[in-house]
Amino acid sequence: EGQLLESGGDLVQPGGSLRLSCAYSGFNFNNDGMNWVRQAPGKGLEWVSAISGDGNYRIYTDSVKGRFTISRDNSKNTLYLQMNSLRVEDTAIYYCGRFSSIYYSYDYWGQGTLVTVSS
Partner 1 sequence: DIVMTQTPLSSPVTLGQPASISCRSSQSLVHSDGNTYLSWLQQRPGQPPRLLIYKISNRFSGVPDRFSGSGAGTDFTLKISRVEAEDVGVYYCMQGTHFPPITFGQGTRLEIK
Contacts with partner 1, residue ranges (CB under 8 A) = 35, 37, 44-47, 50, 59, 61, 95, 99, 103-107, 109-112
Select 56 or 119, whichever has its Cβ closest to partner 1.
56
Cβ-based neighbours of 47, under 8 Å, separated by 6 or more = 35, 37, 61
Q: Radius of gyration of the chain from Cα atoms?
A: 13
Contact 97, 72 (CB under 8 A): no
Give me the least distance between CB of 60 and partner 1, in Å please.
Answer: 8
Tell me whether residue 23 or residue 45 sits nearer to partner 1 (CB atom).
Answer: 45
Pick the closer one to partner 1 by CB: 58 or 82: 58
